[in-house]
A and B are shown apart, each in its own frame.
Chain A
Amino acid sequence: MKDRLPRIMLAFVVSATALSASAVAADDGTPVAPRDGAIGYVMTNLFWSVYQTPDAKEECPEGFNDGPREQFEVLFPDIEKRTVVDTQLQQEIETWHPTAEPDSLPFH
């Protein structure tokens, strides 16, 4: 993940608002410097953007993961011979009653 980060170009924009120096004041209203020279910030917005390279090979060299429809086709290529019990409900059981067994499908 660490070496992948530079390839995923993230635009990370933080709008920060410095606590106004005028808000740091002595009891008599005289402005004073922040304690230890520290300045406080408040994060008001966070924007993420992900840019995809033309063939997506740079950020996903092993290709994209399958979605649930594609996974279903891979798992059950012969659905006309199968029942709801051993296809759809089996998938739902893996969701609602998961085991520690590794998933049978690749995850990139």
Chain B
Amino acid sequence: MPAGFNFPLAAMLAASAVTAFADSGEPASSQIAAAYVSVPMPPGFHVETTELEGPVFADAGGRTLYTWPSHKLRNGYSGETQGNPACYDEVLTVTAGLMSPYPPGILLPELDQRPSCTDLWPPVFAADDAEPIGKWTIVERKDGTEQWMYDEQPLYFSVLDHEPGDVLGGTTRRYGGDSPALRVPAGPPPRIPPGFAIKTTTAGRLLTTEKNFSVYAYDQDTPDTSMCDSECARIWIPATAPAMASAQGEWSIIERSPGVRQWAFRQTPLYTYALDPQSWSLEGSDVPGWSNVYMQLAPPFPDNFTVQDTLAGQVLADPRGMTVYTYVCGDDSADQLSCDHPNDTQVYRFAMCSGGDPEDCLRHWPYVRADDGVMGTSRTWSVISIDPRTGHRAAAEQADAVSVWAYRDRPVYTYGGDRQPGDVNGAGTGEWRAQRNGLKAFWLRDDYMRGTL
């Protein structure tokens, strides 16, 4: 049985600095601030801390900035190449035919209500007297307006974000080739030594090597001593630091033996696991005493939710133990607009969940209801009011509205075809195995998908 989500040491590692700062009266955000490289920014912009994505760029009002990187799809590319804004105020009416076997030129649904790209993704305009600085540059759009870019990617806001720290429009999660060209929050690089990387996962921001192998910590180690002897180190490979490396911030170096230096993060020596079968594996955390290392843990899920073991890893489950699913959707327009939020058209979801019948949809894929009076537990996990017939947000005082749990402002579901805890029979239901229009199990630890959203 995988023990993946029981990572007390990982939790301690991720939380230790929060505790330290709390004790000293400094805000927890100081921990995040210490975790990224300070880069020059134009006046009016700053770095905002977020629950799932860590530090991101934001404007003076705290609105998160996004890029739309080019993404290869089956019949071509979508998104933006460097220096070329492609999101405008034209309302597109037909499909782009990027997803074979479906051709271009099919009328998009609900055209009378369809937004333009910039309705959902307002460009981050540059003032007339704005000056480039560092990786921040300015591009002239085809309508003559000027737009900020970061690292040559044009910047946008998301209309889904309402408060500083919201990152509801996109994610840095890894996504597959059949996924829509997603929007990605822009932010400063993490403060990590060369050879390491940070990966956004459901459980948190995971520390890995630059080749995507998990990094581990051992609960017998002390801040300056590794208890993993030479025999142990044949399997648990110390993350060695070069001779010229020096401690910085939360990163320190211990000397295992004369001349052999090992990286430590938050005062815990780091290792990789020689028996991990492939990159993205978390199997080392199944060994007692060993844990994955997180730069930042994701917010806890609602109190009465549970964790269930399945044949393919661990999933989040409702209070009855039934697997929780998220719905993912992006349309086949050149804009790649999302269709997985209650504000979006629901025709795609109804097609997948019930063949188009909203009533059947409620039976096949019921919402995870929130108990009366229960409030959201974080910005990530909220309780929203839904009109069950339309799938949109309910009107104020609507009599038949239902209160449901939402992850990143989108409802979560269970599957009518799951019979017992641990079933994931609904995972991958929908177009291109749910990469584009369908339902995915809420993996807390995936042993096979290698971190893909």
Interface centre among B100, B101, B331, by most chain A C-beta atoms within 10 angstroms, is: B101
Q: Are B107 and A82 in contact (CB under 8 A)?
A: yes
Q: Does B356 contact A (CB under 8 A)?
A: yes
Interface of A, secondary structure class, is: helix
**How far apart sit A89 and B99, CA to CA, in the bound complex (Å)?**
13
Minimum distance in angstroms from B254 CB to a CB of chain A:
50
Q: Are A92 and B107 in contact (CB under 8 A)?
A: no
| Residue from B108, B356, B430 within 8 A of A83 (CB atoms) | B108
Interface 9-mer from A4-12, A21-29, A41-49, A65-73: A65-73
Tell whether A93 pairs with B351 under 8 Å between CB atoms, given A72-B103, A84-B332, A88-B102: yes
In the complex formed, the residue of B with least CB distance to A71 is B101
Q: Does A87 contact B (CB under 8 A)?
A: yes
Tell whether A84 pairs with B109 under 8 Å between CB atoms, given A69-B100, A96-B430: yes
In the bound complex, residues from chain A placing their C-beta under 8 Å from that of B354 are: 97
In the complex formed, the residue of A with least CB distance to B95 is A84
Minimum distance in angstroms from B302 CB to a CB of chain A:
29
Q: Are B105 and A79 in contact (CB under 8 A)?
A: yes
In the bound complex, residues from chain A placing their C-beta under 8 Å from that of B20 are: none
In the complex formed, the residue of A with least CB distance to B100 is A69
Minimum distance in angstroms from B415 CB to a CB of chain A:
12
| Residue from B94, B95, B102, B332 within 8 A of A72 (CB atoms) | B102
Q: Are B107 and A83 in contact (CB under 8 A)?
A: yes
Q: Does B381 contact A (CB under 8 A)?
A: no
Minimum distance in angstroms from A87 CB to a CB of chain B:
6
**How far apart sit A83 and B332, CA to CA, in the bound complex (Å)?**
12
In the complex formed, the residue of A with least CB distance to B94 is A80
* Proximity bits, B164-177, A CB within 8 Å = 1, else 0: 00000000000000
Minimum distance in angstroms from B429 CB to a CB of chain A:
6
* Proximity bits, A76-108, B CB within 8 Å = 1, else 0: 000111111101110011001100000000000
Q: Does B348 contact A (CB under 8 A)?
A: yes
**How far apart sit A69 and B102, CA to CA, in the bound complex (Å)?**
7
In the bound complex, residues from chain A placing their C-beta under 8 Å from that of B355 are: 93, 96-97
In the bound complex, residues from chain A placing their C-beta under 8 Å from that of B100 are: 69
Q: Does B347 contact A (CB under 8 A)?
A: yes
**How far apart sit A93 and B347, CA to CA, in the bound complex (Å)?**
12
Minimum distance in angstroms from B94 CB to a CB of chain A:
8
Q: Does B285 contact A (CB under 8 A)?
A: no
Tell whether A68 pairs with B101 under 8 Å between CB atoms, given A85-B109, A87-B106: yes
Q: Are A80 and B105 in contact (CB under 8 A)?
A: yes
**How far apart sit A87 and B94, CA to CA, in the bound complex (Å)?**
13
**How far apart sit A63 and B100, CA to CA, in the bound complex (Å)?**
23
In the complex formed, the residue of B with least CB distance to A91 is B102
In the bound complex, residues from chain A placing their C-beta under 8 Å from that of B105 are: 79-80
**How far apart sit A67 and B106, CA to CA, in the bound complex (Å)?**
19
Minimum distance in angstroms from A101 CB to a CB of chain B:
13
* Proximity bits, B330-362, A CB within 8 Å = 1, else 0: 011000000000000001100110111000000
Q: 12 A-B residue contacts at CB 8 Å?
A: A72-B101, A72-B103, A80-B94, A82-B106, A83-B107, A84-B331, A84-B332, A85-B109, A85-B351, A85-B356, A88-B95, A93-B351
Q: Which residues of B contact A (CB under 8 A)?
A: 94-95, 100-103, 105-109, 331-332, 347-348, 351-352, 354-356, 429-431, 437
Please provide the 3 A-B residue pairs with the shortest distance between their CB atoms, ordered closest to farther: A68-B101, A97-B355, A89-B351
Q: A69-B103, A84-B95, A96-B352 are in contact. List 11 more A-B contacts (CB 8 A).
A: A67-B101, A68-B101, A69-B101, A72-B101, A83-B106, A88-B95, A88-B102, A88-B106, A93-B351, A96-B429, A97-B354
